[in-house]
Copies of this chain bind each other. A is one copy, B any other.
Amino acid sequence: MRVIIAEDAVLFRAGVVRVLTDAGCTVVAEAGDAPTLLAAAARHPADVAIVDIRMPPTHTIEGLDAARALRAEHPGLGVLILSAYLEPHYAMTLLEHGVRAAGYLLKDRVTDLEEFVAAVRRVAAGGLVIDPSVVAQLLGRRRRRDPLAGLTGRERDVLALMAEGRSNQAVAARLHLSPKTVEAHVRSLFGKLGLEETADDNRRVLAVLAFLRSADPAAQVAS
């Protein structure tokens, strides 16, 4: 199996190279950025490319764009995204071009080296490999494409004030409502945001986070 590895973090890349060569694979090229990756793929026949999404120069989605280009230009080449981030929409973008010879794994969730090598082989052989937590988030995301879209105007008013750190009483005073009405709106917006009652969650904070994330789309790309 011939592999190309595109990853700008040199220590991490060295690790992947080592694991694969120890397993008998041939690493035909290494790249630290997207242009180098594309040039390597043109020059070196390979079975699979392991690609990090965020690479220089922009550190945004250079790797993803390159992965898509690879799939278009080299139909026989498997592409495995190996990302530090749980980014379902990126996984979806990759899979739009077909669910064969593709993969999306999370760096932190690779705990068994043999499994990792097996996953790479599977993608090289035309299979699909995708981290279960990505699938779970994909499913969740289908239900609420835009979390705030389903809220009524009043619910949004209430949530905005919650997101300022206001108590229910203060929200009521500000909107000239009864505290009971605020509670009713809060309860309704929890349901619409898909926030179920669990022992592990503070739903008010989760609702506020949803609001803040929606108001600032750039925050979704952070970290």
Contacts and interface: CB of A to CB of B under 8 A. Distances in A.
Interface in A174-223: 198-206, 208-209, 212, 218, 221-223
Q: How many copies does the complex hold?
A: 2
B108 A9 contact: yes
A153 to B, nearest CB: 20
Given A208-B208, A223-B108, A162 B18 contact: no
B204 A204 contact: yes
A52 to B, nearest CB: 11
Contacts of A221: 223
Q: Interface size bucket, A side?
A: 35 or more
Interface stretch (A38-46, A95-103, A165-173): A165-173
B167 A202 contact: yes
A204 to B, nearest CB: 6
A162 B203 CA distance: 11
Contact of A209 (B17, B107, B165, B201): B165
Interface string A112-129: 110010000000000000
Contacts of A136: none
A13 interface: yes
A165 B203 contact: yes
A160 interface: no
A14 interface: yes
Contact of A205 (B16, B19, B204): B204
B15 A202 contact: no
A25 interface: no
Given A165-B201, A167-B200, A206-B165, A14 B19 contact: yes
Interface of A: 9-19, 107-108, 110-113, 116, 162-163, 165-170, 173, 198-206, 208-209, 212, 218, 221-223
24 contacts: A9-B110, A10-B116, A11-B12, A11-B15, A11-B16, A11-B19, A12-B15, A12-B107, A13-B15, A14-B14, A14-B15, A14-B19, A15-B18, A18-B18, A163-B209, A165-B206, A165-B209, A166-B202, A202-B204, A204-B204, A204-B205, A205-B205, A208-B208, A212-B212
